[in-house]
Amino acid sequence: MKPKELKKIVKSIFMKHGLKKTHADTSSNYIIKAEIIGASSHGLARLKMYCNRIKNKLINPKPKIKIRSISKSISHINANNAIGFVAADIAIKKAISNCLKTGIGLVAVKNSGHYGLSSFYAEQAVKKNLIALCFTNAPPAIAPHGSKKKLFGTNPICFGAPTGSKIPFILDTSVSMINRGKIRLAAKQGSSIPKNVALDKFGKPTTDPNKALKGVQLPMSTFRGSGLAWMVDILSGVFTGGNHSGKVKDPFDDFSGPQNVGHLFIVMKSNIFVGPSYNRKIKENIKTIKKLPKIKGVNKILFPGENKYKKYKKNYNKKIFIPKNIIKDLKKLNN
């Protein structure tokens, strides 16, 4: 199905579940964009989960989102358990407008939920020639280095910067070996996961996604990844007033209360220190790196985000493949 038609269906499903038209529009946009860039683990596969949480009053369909201004640069948002897409969309837009006034925008969000892919928020800032950092915490998946119990989420770190071209530099990565959505998708499709990304509940390496979901995911680069996951938990949870220390609820399995995810957005004018020469400098930087001698099998050195930008441009009007189980979900949810 074409993205436009699919978006209409998803929007109508959200509205049937009580979301305001504008919130349904924002949320369906982000879900379809994830599908277009091939991140199906963060697309339609999560729709049923969002709807279940709305039905169970764990996502508030009509939230009273409060924005407290701390200074011209700094705002604190209480999302009142809004769907994460909406809370994060409001927050990045606020961070951008604060930044345009003062040079830097810092916006923290508490009482939010899963917001999908961080890159979509960073991109909005980069389009305005700004540098962005986005953080969110997530439900327990990774055991802190030295522990055998999962506590940190896959806590993505996202950094965006203008490149002096249309293609934004967007490094958007989980701090686990692979993101949890990919493991869930493999479990749904009955496929296996790569070696060395997860342990089963007995601490043994596994390629079985179901065993991995019951066990722990491995952080990238052992204690370094664990340290980064911890950093994101502090920035997104401790600092913002959101849940932390393993208390963010799993949106799929834990219906005992709202998630209370926290997000943090930091946006900076790219020219604050070097003025208009930023563009020349960043182009020079990328050119230098791209010209380096390449290892066997690599034709081009890509900067982060380049691959996803090209995928989006190539696919944004092409039909999206929907697996049978998701078609079933869509039909049920749209009834």
Ligand X SMILES: NC(=O)c1ccc[n+]([C@@H]2O[C@H](COP(=O)([O-])OP(=O)(O)OC[C@H]3O[C@@H](n4cnc5c(N)ncnc54)[C@H](O)[C@@H]3O)[C@@H](O)[C@H]2O)c1
Chain residues binding ligand X by CB under 6 A are 39, 42, 114-119, 136, 138, 154, 156, 158, 170-174, 178-179, 302, 304-305, 307-308
Nearer Cβ to ligand X (215/262): 262
> Contact, 122 vs 158, CB < 8 A?
yes
In angstroms, the CA 330 to CA 31 distance is 13
For the CB of residue 101, give the shortest distance to ligand X in the complex, in Å. 27
Nearer Cβ to ligand X (22/307): 307
Nearer Cβ to ligand X (75/179): 179
Question: If you search the block for the tokens 């009273």, which residue do you land on?
Answer: 64
DSSP secondary structure, 16-57, as one string: HTT--HHHHHHHHHHHHHHHHTT-GGGTGGGHHHHHHHHHTT
For the CB of residue 335, give the shortest distance to ligand X in the complex, in Å. 28
Nearer Cβ to ligand X (19/39): 39
- Partnered with residue 173 across adjacent β-strands are 157
Nearer Cβ to ligand X (73/264): 264
Q: What is the 3-state secondary structure (H, E, C) of 239-273?
A: CCCCCCCCCCCCCCCCCCCCCCEEEEEEEEECCCC
325 three-state secondary structure: helix
For the CB of residue 269, give the shortest distance to ligand X in the complex, in Å. 22
Nearer Cβ to ligand X (100/316): 316
For the CB of residue 221, give the shortest distance to ligand X in the complex, in Å. 13
Query: To 5 degrees, how large is the angle CA 189–CA 309–CA 220?
Result: 60
In angstroms, the CA 37 to CA 59 distance is 26
In angstroms, the CA 207 to CA 106 distance is 40
For the CB of residue 102, give the shortest distance to ligand X in the complex, in Å. 27
For the CB of residue 246, give the shortest distance to ligand X in the complex, in Å. 14
